[in-house]
Amino acid sequence: MKTMKDDCRGIDSELAEMLLDPNAASARVREHVAHCERCSAELAAMQATMGLLDEWQVAEPNPYFLTRMGARLAEERRSGSASVLGRWMARLKAGFVYGPQTHVRPLAAMALTALLLVGGGAYLGVTNWDQTQTTSPNAAAVHDLQTMDKNAQLLDQLEALSTAPDNNGD
C-alpha cells in the first residue's frame, strides 16, 4: 500500500510551478494537493510568502550616499597615512581581511632558485672549476725525462763537490 509520503516525493518540485501558474499544473498534482494536508499547507505558505514579497517596497537610497561615502574614505586615507604605525596597522588589517598572499610564495621560491643558479654559476666562473687539465698520451714520458734531467743535474753537482779540492789543506 502506498503511503501519502511516497506520493509527496514527486509533488514538491511541482508546487512552485503550481504557485506561479495553477492552470499549468497537471490534474494529478492538483488532486494530490487537494487531498494532502502537508502539500496544501506548503502551497499556502508559499502563496503567503509571495504575497508578502509583492507588498514589499524597496527603500530609495539616499542621493547623497555616494558623496558621503567618498568623503569618509578620503578622510580615512588621510588619517591612516599620517603615521608609520597607522600604515603598518592598515596593511596588517588588509592582510587579515583579504587573506594570505599565497601567490607570493611560489614567486619568491622561483626568484631564490634563479639567484642561486646565477650566483653559483658566477662562483664557478671565478674559481675556474670548469677548466679541466688535458693530459696527452706522451705526458708520462715527458715527466719521466724531466725528472731524469733534474736528477742528472743533481748528480753533476754532487760529483763536482766530491772532486773539488778541500779548502782545509788536505
Residue-wise pLDDT for 44-85, tens only, equals 998 899 888 888 888 888 888 889 999 988 887 777 556 777
Contact (Cβ atoms closer than 8 angstroms) between residue 43 and residue 19: yes
The percent helix, strand, coil of the chain (3-state, each to 5) is 75, 0, 25
pLDDT at position 2: 45
Pick the last residue of a domain from 110, 127, 144. Answer: 127
pTM above 0.75?
Answer: no
9/48 same-domain check: yes
49/88 same-domain check: no
149 within a domain of the structure (yes/no)? no
pLDDT at position 126: 64
Instruction: Name the nearest CA neighbour of 40 among 4, 67, 64, 68.
Output: 4
Residues in the chain, pLDDT under 70: 1-7, 80-82, 96-97, 99-104, 125-138, 166-170
133 within a domain of the structure (yes/no)? no
103 within a domain of the structure (yes/no)? yes
pLDDT at position 3: 46
Residue showing cell 705526458: 139
Under 8 Å CB-to-CB from 12, ≥6 apart: which residues?
39, 42
pLDDT at position 113: 93
Domain count, the chain: 2
9 within a domain of the structure (yes/no)? yes
pLDDT at position 1: 35
Give the range of the structural domain holding residue 110, as residue numbers without chain letter.
Answer: 83-127
Q: How far is residue 147's CA from residue 160's CA, in Å, rounded to a whole number?
A: 20
